[in-house]
Amino acid sequence: MNRFYFAKTNKAALFFAMALLPSGMVYSQVKKDTVTKEKKIDEVVVIGYGTQRKEAVTGSVATVKGDVLREVPSANITQALQGRTAGVDISQTSSKPGAAMQIRIRGARSFTGTNDPLIVLDGIPFIGSLGDISSNDIKSIDILKDASATAIYGSRGANGVILVTTNRGSKGQKPRFTYNSFTGVQTLFSRYPMMDGPKLAKLRADAGNIYGLGTDETLDTNTDWQKLYYKPAMMTSHDVGVSGGTDGGNYNVGLSYFKQDALIPIQNYERFSLRIGLDQQVGKSFKFGFTTNTNYTVSEGNGVSGAPILGYSPLANPYNPDGSIKRSMSTASNVDQSWIYIRKTLENLGDKYVDESKGFSSYNNIYGEVSLPITGLKYRLNVGLDYLTSNSGNYTGVGVFNVNAATPSSAGRGNNQTYHWTLENLLTYDRTFGKHKINAVALYSAEGTRYVSTYMSAKNVPADFFQYYNLGQSPQADISVKPEDQVYWRRGLLSYMGRAMYTYDNKYMITATLRADGASVLAPGNKWHTYPAISLGWNLANESFMQSMKFINQFKLRYGWGQTSNQAVDPYTTLGSLQVTPYNFGSSNTTGVYILTAPNTGLGWEYSKTNNFGVDFGLFNNRITGTVEYYRTKTEKVLSGTRLPPSGGIDRVTNNIGQIENKGWEVSLNGSIINNPDGFSWDAGINWYANRNQILALSSGTTRDEINNWFVGHNINAIYDYQNIGLWQQGDPYLNILEPGGNVGMIKVLYTGGYNADGSPVRAINTTDRQIIDTAPDWQGGFNMRFSYKNFELSTVGAFQHGGVLISSIYGSSGYLNRLTGRGNNVDVEYWTADNPNVRNPKPGGIMSGDNPKYGSTLAYFDGSYLKLRTITLGYNIKKEFLDDLKLSSLRIYFTVTNPLVLFSPYHKESGMDPEPNSYGNQNQAVNSSLPYNSRQLIIGANNPSTRNYLMGINLSF
């Protein structure tokens, strides 16, 4: 058994290590301290346009192996990446089946442009999402984080680069067949914490009976609307693959199927995938190959949401006396009429409702490589050809979702196509001369994208069976083809790049890169930008003066500096844009155009400069490995839309304005604590990171943009709102001064004005008292542990976050679920009463702002801290003796629970809900126009609820 041994006298050291080391090293006490040596493995890292031994890497690169990703069975490999890598924040944007996730590498750098990283699949830029790639096909994922590493990809790599390498067969390998599958059930992680019937009745009474019973409400009714809506749902995945090779090449072919139903009715996602990879050597000098990744997806019920039922009164009965379901109901003194939106009504709609999207995508890479007469010199041509198309359609029958049974039917149909090509010419020189190793790459590439999208809609479709397939059957006056729904654009990129890497005696490393990009979307004279990068490495562990420290296997210092840029604007932005609008000209109806955005003939690149300092170490025969990094990125000439004065008649113009800074620390630590292949083994890892995002400057020297919530000195996702400091209590002074007409028990917010000589405020609370609230967490990270005993294994992955502001719109004003008046159902909260004054929520029926408590938006903000387990997996590897009888190479069965447990979270303690987001800030909100947060923010809203999944799986090969 390989483990660390300490003498009995080292009990203090044992306690210290157990208490403080993140990987939780385990010691066994014997008479002599020894460390069993292990064979050192030279790990190879993909760095873009080549590979490099990890020991020689000078940029900031993190690697996650494919077998580690497959420990978390999921629909989308980004879910398996969560919590694995320092500096990579992966967040859920929606809990709907098939939804993509948001990835941020070292923070956000752009105001209105994309902050998504570049994905590179097998060497070619990939325009799809990580969800389009099967986890069973992945060999490794390498994440380039700093400018010295990403500069080779130029403007496309400004937000970091994710390099995906897929599995290939091996030369001479016999055919190997694999089958990977999991099936399971998704259950509700937690219900939305809404009031039941008696609680709502009491709330109405405490609010002064502003709203009484409606026609369909009775005090003895207690309808559980969530029970009538949510239902456990199935999820299944099947993947079949074959790989092998000959003396001259290799191949890999795979076919996969995935389906996920939602907990809410008639919503599901299906994906079919085909992948083929081939490499073939022709003679000694030539090699060619290709990779194709093709997907067909179907999403149904896209427009269905869980939001409506949350506001339904539990005092209302959805059934008629004969047991049939009512079509609609009247509640809250008959002020509200609602179509009854439950599982049975949706499932019984049949042809009366459809909302679906069908997508096809094909990503294809072709390459040819020839070895030139000069030793170590190669030429390679990469060609990427991608095609994506999506067809969507929706139909809503007469009276569906509306209390008016005669509401006209409506339908819409859209389609879009994306055509993308990449051409890369690479010249590579790779030689070793004694202690000198040289690798040089020269690149010339061109890239183009064309996008076409159309959409049309209609009303009064003559029959349900037409649905959206023949909108021309509707009356011509009811067919609408809006100009803004018809989109066409093209964009292109031309690039040159050179990179040289030099290593001496495996001690001293230097990498230098120079790249130039020309972007079609920028203004003439500003289309081209050239940026350099350089990084240095010093492997101290290989120095002679370190040889006496046998416990140090690796100790490398790194420094990198570089510049990247971003063409974060839409095509034709430099030309400005026109908006079409209908209007009356005399007695005639006609259509005109007006200028929406002004042209900018000086529009140029936004670019970032990064400094990165890193330390990589390996101790005790690399039983403990880790990395510590500090970085600072400053983005200048940030591209953003700037509003213009209304008197000019033009809404806005896109300019290069402002500066944004991201800086922070990252720590990763992994330990092979106990390593006994024939007995008990224990591996553990942890990563921790803190990013400070700050706006340094805005347009024309201004320090704030209140419309967009951008403020100098604060993060890009700051909130501009009042600061809740409690509730007004009996006997509190100055209530009538600060809140004229206010009431005891209303929300009390921070006052920032002056005071009179007697200490009284000089004015009432007004909009100048709003505060800038930074939402970003103080720090965050993830952890993982794996235990194995003989053929059994147990693994877990978790995540944590400290600080930051979590926005939950169901508690704030925008969702209309915490109005505290009794109109519609209310979140189950403790609210102020004379007998219960020390609570968070105000007195029911108090002073209002619109249909919500005054300052009710402040109730949406919670401490964003949490500690949770994301997955727990128990697996068993079938014994080899049994496999030999079945002619199998390996067989593993496993059971996984995803999202099993929240260990700590103020929000979870309050609500019982998952503390991670499920929506963008502008989704599923009753009020959007006055939100103190916007679409950039991720929030917890009335979207599909979070799930806890129980999965059984199998991994088989022969």
Beta bridge partners of 104: 89
pLDDT, position 335: 95
Please write the tens of the pLDDT for every residue from 365-379: 999 999 999 999 999
Instruction: Identify whether the C-beta of residue 363 lies closer than 8 Å to the C-beta of residue 300.
Output: no
pLDDT, position 400: 94
Mean pLDDT in the chain?
88
pLDDT, position 23: 34
Q: How far apart are CA 55 and CA 621, in angstroms?
A: 14
Angle at 282 between CA 277 and CA 288, to 5 degrees: 35
pLDDT, position 5: 32
pLDDT, position 928: 66
Single pTM value for the model? 0.89
Please write the tens of the pLDDT for every residue from 205-242: 999 999 999 999 999 999 999 999 999 999 999 999 99
Q: Specify the higher pLDDT residue, 601 or 633.
A: 633
pLDDT beyond 90 at 27: no
DSSP strand pairing (268-282 vs 286-300): antiparallel
Region of 930 (left: φ > 0; alpha: ψ -120 to 50; beta: rest) is alpha
Q: What share of the chain is helix, strand, coil (3-state, %, to 5)?
A: 10, 50, 40
pLDDT beyond 80 at 112: no
Lowest mean pLDDT among 61-75, 158-172, 637-651: 637-651
Beta bridge partners of 692: 663
Give SS3 for 629: strand
Please write the tens of the pLDDT for every residue from 567-585: 878 888 888 877 777 777 7
Instruction: Please identify which residue in the block is written with the tokens 């219900």.
Output: 191
Lowest mean pLDDT among 124-133, 328-337, 416-425: 124-133
The proportion of the chain whose per-residue pLDDT surpasses 70, expressed as a percent, equals: 95
Q: Specify the higher pLDDT residue, 124 or 362.
A: 362
- Rounded mean pLDDT of 245-267? 92
Lowest mean pLDDT among 289-293, 594-598, 929-933: 929-933
- Rounded mean pLDDT of 803-809? 95
pLDDT, position 56: 80
- Eight-state DSSP code of residue 736: H
pLDDT beyond 80 at 35: no
- Rounded mean pLDDT of 876-883? 82
pLDDT, position 929: 61
pLDDT beyond 80 at 25: no
Lowest mean pLDDT among 678-692, 884-898, 926-940: 926-940
pLDDT beyond 80 at 12: no
Residue 919: enclosing H or E segment and its boundaries?
strand 919-920
pLDDT, position 951: 95
Length of the chain: 958
DSSP string, 423-456: EEEEEEEEEEETTEEEEEEEEEEEEEEEEEEEEE
pLDDT beyond 50 at 4: no
pLDDT, position 337: 94
Give SS3 for 375: coil
Please write the tens of the pLDDT for every residue from 393-404: 999 999 999 999
Confidence band of 594 (pLDDT split at 50, 70, 90): confident
By C-alpha distance, which of 505, 439, 538 is closest to 58? 538
pLDDT, position 20: 34
Per-residue three-class SS string for 466-521 = HCCCCHHHCCHHHEECCHHHCEEEEEEEEEEEEEEEEEECCCEEEEEEEEEEEECC
pLDDT, position 19: 32
- Rounded mean pLDDT of 798-817? 94
Please write the tens of the pLDDT for every residue from 660-682: 999 999 999 999 988 887 889 99
Instruction: Identify whether the C-beta of residue 777 lies closer than 8 Å to the C-beta of residue 798.
Output: no
Please write the tens of the pLDDT for every residue from 473-510: 999 989 999 888 899 999 999 999 999 999 999 899 99
pLDDT, position 344: 94
The proportion of the chain whose per-residue pLDDT surpasses 90, expressed as a percent, equals: 64
pLDDT, position 42: 58
Q: Specify the higher pLDDT residue, 174 or 396.
A: 396
Beta bridge partners of 453: 416, 487
pLDDT, position 700: 76
Q: How far apart are CA 455 and CA 548, in angstroms?
A: 72
